[in-house]
Amino acid sequence: MEILVTGAIIGYIIYLRYYADLRTPSEKERDQLQTGIKLYASCQFEEAFAYFNEKIRAKPQSSIAYLYRARYQRMRGNLPAALDDLQTAIGYDDTVVDLHLERGQILFEQHDYEAAFLEFDKAVFHAHGNLADPFQWRGLALQQLNQLQQARNDLERAQAIVQEQKDGTGTSAGKEPFFDRRFLFNALLVLINSCVLLFVIKETAVVHWPYLLAAVSAAAIGFAQPRKGWLLALLQAAILWIGYTFFTSPPQGGGDRELELFCLYGSIGLTFVGSFVGGVLKRAMGT
């Protein structure tokens, strides 16, 4: 029993350390570079340029830092430097939609429509067809290449995405669906952990093992999903109660049953408490 609980706790620690954060590398970089991004958004361009320059010196593989430095270079009219920065960034991470959009726009302005089309086509691909701008710009490039029907299709698709976002029926870049892949992955882990916890409740002769496992796993739930942890905690509590009530046999002795019920309902209570504590810790860390 001790080995099982210890193994489960170690598994949660490894998960939180290496696998709980399912953001892409570029999404993590954007979060880390918010100071410079806010400077750029507030038109403090010189300060933003200095910020991203320093970040590139410290971490030359930062594709997002190169993106914003390229935007500054483009704004200043230094297009060769902007294209060099964008190409360098694409070499580090070619899945960033904005890199292809930015490079395609510069090529479009230089009347290199074939090369611009290729960049916009990559932007459409990496956006998974969910963003309007890649379709809009690819449509404009296709117009210049005299592929009018394909251009019309892209421009209509761009307008449709914009309308879907206004109506709230589409998936915008800044708003993820509630039941995203991260939530579903964590829900699967909750299911597995609930089965392990139910086994511990049935087999243990003391209350501290199920309580410890429930508290640690619930804290991990809250830490991994600070805004959705309550739903995962509810899922774990429901699985525990349903599993114990309908899929296990009651013990013969009254004392054993009282111990199991004490472990069960105590674990359910600790699931909610631990989830809340984990969420508070994650928000306090600001990550």
| pLDDT bucket at 16, cuts 50 / 70 / 90 | low
Written as six digits, the tokens of 97 are: 């939609």
Which homologous superfamily is 25-167 in? Tetratricopeptide repeat domain (1.25.40.10)
CB environment 99-130: b (16+ within 10 A), e (fewer): bbbbbbbbbbeeebbeebbbbbbbbbebbeeb
> What does the pLDDT read at residue 28?
82
Q: What is the pLDDT of residues 62-77, one digit of tens each?
A: 999 999 999 999 999 9
| pLDDT bucket at 286, cuts 50 / 70 / 90 | low
Written as six digits, the tokens of 115 are: 């090369």
Handedness of CA 215, 216, 220, 226 (dihedral sign): positive
In the predicted model, what is the mean pLDDT of the chain?
Answer: 87
> What does the pLDDT read at residue 219?
84
> What does the pLDDT read at residue 174?
45
> What does the pLDDT read at residue 173?
45
Q: What is the CA radius of gyration of the chain?
A: 26
Q: What are phi and psi of 120, to 5 degrees?
A: -65, -35
Res. 238: pLDDT tops 90: yes
> What does the pLDDT read at residue 164?
87
Q: What is the pLDDT of residues 174-218, one digit of tens each?
A: 455 667 777 888 889 899 989 999 999 998 888 888 998 888 888
Give the pLDDT mean for 24-36. Answer: 87
Give the pLDDT mean for 261-281. Answer: 88
- Give the start-to-end residue ranges of the domains of the chain: 2-20+179-285, 25-167
Res. 21: pLDDT tops 70: no
> What does the pLDDT read at residue 172?
46
> What does the pLDDT read at residue 250?
83
Give the pLDDT mean for 7-19. Answer: 62
Q: What is the pLDDT of residues 123-171, one digit of tens each?
A: 999 998 899 999 999 999 999 999 999 999 999 999 999 998 887 665 5
Res. 53: pLDDT tops 60: yes
Res. 283: pLDDT tops 50: yes
The C-alpha atoms of residue 103 and residue 84 are separated, in whole angstroms, by 10
Give the pLDDT mean for 245-257. Answer: 86
